[in-house]
Structure 1
Amino acid sequence: MRKCFDLLLLLLLVISSCSSGNASDDTIVKEPDNVGVLATLKTNEAEDIAARQALVWGILENNGGTSVVERGVCYGTIANPNYEGSKSIASVVKGTGEFKAELTNLEGGTVYYARAYAVNKKGVAYGNQISFKTKDLASPLLVLGAIKVAGAQDLFFDVELKEHGDLAIQEIGLVYNTVKEPTVANNKIARSTVENKFKQRITNLTPETLYYVRPYAVTTNGVLYGEEFVISTIKKGNFTYSFNQNGADAATVNRIKAAFDLATTYYNNFTSIVKHVTVNYSPGTPTADANFAGWINVGSNAAYQKAGTAMHEMAHTVGIGQHSKYWELMYSGTWHGKRANEILQMMTNDPNAVVKGDNTHFWPYGVNGSWEDDGSDFLYMMNALILQGMKADGLPSN
């Protein structure tokens, strides 16, 4: 009896020991190290190749029996690029196994090698190698506008950066010289910022002189130049006046002289008009008047003893509202000469602008009243340039 009891106790101990050794439901079962192999991939040919970028698709054909934690494209200028070098992680992954990688910051005109890659538990696997050549870096394209304007000492240009290209632009502007192919080592006008369009004035030039002008851009690959344009400054005007003071007080004399001195400076810098006129102080004249014969009367109203009024009356002495050629070209309220309208369009950046007028006056910039005279350089300059355009259209000065 005692022997049976001992056997029963031994059996219970064995059963208890086996039960306590079983794994619980919370125990993590590690994947054996011998599970899975390297993934297999295919690299497609590069697409959308540009100077600094390209697109490469890869295909994960088999994950090797274990999860892929990363995929993309390795690339470089040496064959068989690897994971330790330059790589681009896939930006798009499809359920079919296809994935896309965007290669950026490439060098223009350079041969690159690329391989799709995938990382799983076994390591980095590579697809077949492809190669492609990036496009050459495109240079910026700078052009001068169709209309150019010339004074005796000034030139005006519209400049357009039509294409930025692939090169970083550090500086932009114009170069000019009296010999062909000017460079930044000659006369350079640099813009403070890189703009797609800008108007550039060149000053302090010599009258009746041929100038070679071209736009330029300083890039990371050096200085690039646009097409060269040849233009001449005009003959300097010789508009002079004599002054009959007719008992005017000193302040009046000083105002009238200052007005005509400034007005003739603009005429002589921005027109080639040659004429002598007589300016008379005429207290009985309400404002001012003039005729083609060269006789100008200036009244006692100080508001009309300014440069704008002087230029307005000087315009009458060279034919505005006084000559048959003016009436021939100014009809139906519009000037029908080409050059004056071109100058207005270019200088105001308005391709539809036209000079308008009546039998006596023109506008804009005709300074047809003291209220229009703001004393600005642009107003006086435009008045003279439009007169020069009208002269080019056939309006005589004498």
Structure 2
Amino acid sequence: MIKITSIFLVLLTIWSCSSEDTRGDNNQEETTKEIKIPILETNTVESLESFKATLWGKVLDNGGSSITERGICYSVTENPTYNNSSEKASVVKGSGEFQVNLQNLMSGITYYAKAYAINEKGVGYGNEVSFSTLDIIAPTLKIGDTKVAGAHDIWLEVSVPNQGDLEIDEIGLVYGTTSNPTTDNNGVTKENVEMAFKERITGLDPQTLYYFRAYAITSNGITYSDEITMSTIKKGNFTWSFWWEDNSDPAFDRLREAFDKATWYYNNFTSIEKHVNVNYNTGTPTADANFDGWINFGANPDYQRTGTAMHEMAHTVGVGTHGKYWELMKGSWQGNRANAILQMMTDDPNAKIYGDNTHFWPYGINGAHEDDGSEMLYIIHALVLQGMKTDGLPNQ
């Protein structure tokens, strides 16, 4: 019995020693396991713009340690490192893939990039890829097809169909009497940057061909539109005189001021040549005129104004008094130029001139109630009449 017990104790001791040795070997294996840097893959660029690029990377092996940071490092020289510019991932997938959006790049430049990841061992890199950002898209500027001219003024419309990649700091028009004007020549700069605007260029010489270009300034420089040309018109020669004059009657002072202003607008915004005789007749209810150049004004002071003078002057050159007017006015004006001028000057692409056998509207100034005394009322009236002349109404 004693022998059996002794044998059992010996076996127990051997089993216990064997068990302890095995555990000791496992602990040593865990302690000496080597941590390595991560292994990555850099994928090709997903999207490119002038200042932006989107890249994907993927962690193939974390090296036996948790990844604390991942992203893309990049440079304009080969073999970029984490010490160069780098951007952390914005999207991370469970598969190990991650996305990086690079911002504020330079346009038209070749970059070199690598995916990177960091664990407790250090920084691991993927393969190097290269990409080139797109050239900057400059603003696109366009001068409208419809242009309106007086003897000293030209109106143009400018639009920006595409602003491009950069903010526009300044916009306007340049012009001159030689081709390809620049900002070193005459120009008009808008106070505020607008994507569409109408501009009046003034102080021009009559019957002169001008070259125009719209321009925009960005941080990348100056961009110009295609060049267009436009000539100012021949200055008008519309004159007037009283048939008789009574300096003691204030009506003559009012009429003199009205016709001096009215003929100024006709001479600067039409090419009409005409002389008219102005007669003061207290028996005339308001005012009337004929194609022969006679204008009668009555005693009502409300009609002894610039607008009425221009209205009656229009009658002396064919409005409601000539066969060509009746041929072109069929409830609405059948000529193209006068309607195009109205549309451009009123910023209404659907505007149209209407009328009857005697008058036209809008801007016909058909009564004292339509005369608000504004400069643009008189200018547009004269320009529309110039358009009617272009459409066929007699010039005198």
TM over 0.5: yes
Give the drift of 1:167.
3.7
Aligned residue type for 2:165: D
Give the drift of 1:35.
6.0
After superposing the two structures, state which structure 1 stretch, 58-67 or 356-365, moved more.
58-67
CA distance in 2, matches of 1:272, 1:186: 28
Taking structure 1 as the reference length, the TM-score comes to: 0.88
What are the residue-to-residue correspondences of 1:225-236 with 2, within 5 Å? Answer: 225-236=224-235
CA distance in 2, matches of 1:322, 1:196: 44
Checking the alignment, whether the CA contact within 8 Å between 2:245 and 2:252 is kept in structure 1 is no
Checking the alignment, whether the CA contact within 8 Å between 1:142 and 1:216 is kept in structure 2 is yes
Residue aligning to 1:188: 187
CA distance in 1, matches of 2:137, 2:32: 53
The answer for unaligned runs of 5 or more in structure 1 is 1-30
Residues 36 and 249 (structure 1 numbering): CA distance in 2 closer, same or farther, change over 3 Å?
Answer: farther
Q: 1:51-91 deviations in whole A, cap 9, x for unaligned?
A: 11111011122222222222211112011222222222212
Residue aligning to 2:237: 238
CA distance in 1, matches of 2:90, 2:374: 58
What are the residue-to-residue correspondences of 1:39-118 with 2, within 5 Å? Answer: 39-118=38-117
CA distance in 1, matches of 2:31, 2:79: 32
Residues 343 and 377 (structure 1 numbering): CA distance in 2 closer, same or farther, change over 3 Å?
Answer: same
Residues 249 and 95 (structure 1 numbering): CA distance in 2 closer, same or farther, change over 3 Å?
Answer: farther
After superposing the two structures, state which structure 1 stretch, 386-395 or 273-282, moved more.
273-282
What are the residue-to-residue correspondences of 1:18-33 with 2, within 5 Å? Answer: none
Residue aligning to 2:219: 220
Checking the alignment, whether the CA contact within 8 Å between 1:236 and 1:269 is kept in structure 2 is yes
Residue aligning to 2:3: none
Checking the alignment, whether the CA contact within 8 Å between 1:246 and 1:282 is kept in structure 2 is no
CA distance in 2, matches of 1:32, 1:257: 112
Residue 132 in structure 1 maps to residue 115 in structure 2: no
Q: 1:21-55 deviations in whole A, cap 9, x for unaligned?
A: xxxxxxxxxx9796632222111111221111111
CA distance in 1, matches of 2:132, 2:49: 9
Query: Aligned to 2:351, which of 353, 356, 359?
Result: 353
Taking structure 2 as the reference length, the TM-score comes to: 0.89
Aligned partner of residue 47 in structure 1, secondary structure: strand
Residue aligning to 2:154: 155
What are the residue-to-residue correspondences of 1:1-398 with 2, within 5 Å? Answer: 36-247=35-246, 249-331=248-330, 333-398=331-396
Checking the alignment, whether the CA contact within 8 Å between 1:53 and 1:106 is kept in structure 2 is yes
Please tell me the root mean square deviation across aligned C-alpha atoms, in Å.
1.7
After superposing the two structures, state which structure 1 stretch, 218-227 or 303-312, moved more.
218-227
Aligned partner of residue 113 in structure 1, secondary structure: strand
Checking the alignment, whether the CA contact within 8 Å between 1:159 and 1:198 is kept in structure 2 is yes
Residues 244 and 41 (structure 1 numbering): CA distance in 2 closer, same or farther, change over 3 Å?
Answer: same
Q: Percent identity?
A: 57
Residues 298 and 56 (structure 1 numbering): CA distance in 2 closer, same or farther, change over 3 Å?
Answer: same
